[in-house]
Amino acid sequence: MIQVNNLHKSFGQEEILKGINTQFYQGKTNLIIGQSGAGKTVFLKCLLGLFEPTEGTIEYNGKAYSSLDVEKQRALRQKMGMVFQGGALFDSMTIAENVMFPLRMFTKQKKSEMMDRVEEVLQRVNLENVNHKFPSEISGGMQKRVSIARAIVNKPEYLFCDEPNSGLDPKTAILIDNLIQEITKEYEITTVINTHDMNSVLEIGENIVYLKNGNLAWNGSKDEIYKSEDESLTDFVYSSELFKKVRKAQLKGL
Ligand SMILES: Nc1ncnc2c1ncn2[C@@H]1O[C@H](COP(=O)(O)OP(=O)(O)OP(=O)(O)O)[C@@H](O)[C@H]1O
């Protein structure tokens, strides 16, 4: 679990995050949503320890990052997996080498042990016979699976995903969402996903943090979104006609 207390982040005179208090739960898919420029990426980078808060604290299973010494901060960062927007695979490495990369960086495992683990996670994300291929030789959806495999190979406690669905067709996007949710539950990871995809919100939004101009404007689950009277939230989520129809149907069924 991640507890965020009064998080402020400024760059010079400009305050981007304005005192956020919230939690991200273990074993749940926690989503950060909000309009472009709301501060989602800055928030995610604070959670990853890449940006230092101007004020406030972030606690990981009860321990504030800022209270840890450099060694312990490094150890904590090794418990974090990241799925980057666009996958961010290394083009010149094979799929197996890409997935093995965090193990080579952060562990002292033997090559055979690392290869077994790579095999295991590639199977977990339903990829077969791709070990020796290069990223350019597989589809975008497969690249996302590789990126997820690489993010979980070192058994993270926290998984951060930046727009994991970008560039995918709606069907593949839902498969990727479901995969991330299954993995989150199976390994009891605290997963935080930064997304623009309203399909994801309504599909896997177990805990949704809605940011508006650097403030937490709403917090709840996908089922609560259907019932919410919060105009700013519903305007944002139901900006498409299709979603307005979905909401109407949901409300009738409630
Ligand atoms: N390193 C930085 N230095 C100064 N300002 C920054 C920095 N990073 C982000 N910002 C500013 O913070 C604000 C929020 O940016 P952020 O990238 O978090 O938005 P976002 O909600 O992720 O948007 P999008 O959905 O378009 O990715 C923007 O005004 C941006 O210019």
Check residue 110 and report its DSSP letter.
Answer: -
Q: How many CB atoms are closer than 10 A to CB 175?
A: 17
Global confidence as pTM: 0.92
| Check whether domain 2-79+156-253 has CATH 3.30.1490.20, yes or no | no
From atom 1 of ligand 1, which residue's Cα is the shortest distance away? 11
Q: How confident is the model at residue 254 (pLDDT cuts 50, 70, 90)?
A: low
The domain ranges of the chain are 2-79+156-253, 96-154
* Structure-model confidence comparison of residues 198 and 20, the more confident one: 20
**How far away, in angstroms, is 16 Cα from ligand 1 center?**
8
ipTM score assigned to the predicted complex: 0.97
Atom of ligand 1 nearest to the CA of 34: 21
Contact in structure between 120 and 126 (CB atoms under 8 Å): no
Helix or strand or coil: residue 210? strand
Helix (H, G, I), strand (E, B) or coil at 170: helix
Backbone angles phi, psi at 66, to 5 degrees: -70, -15
Q: Is the CB of 38 under 6 A from ligand 1?
A: yes
User: pLDDT digit string (tens) for 128-163?
Assistant: 889 999 999 998 889 999 999 999 999 999 999 999
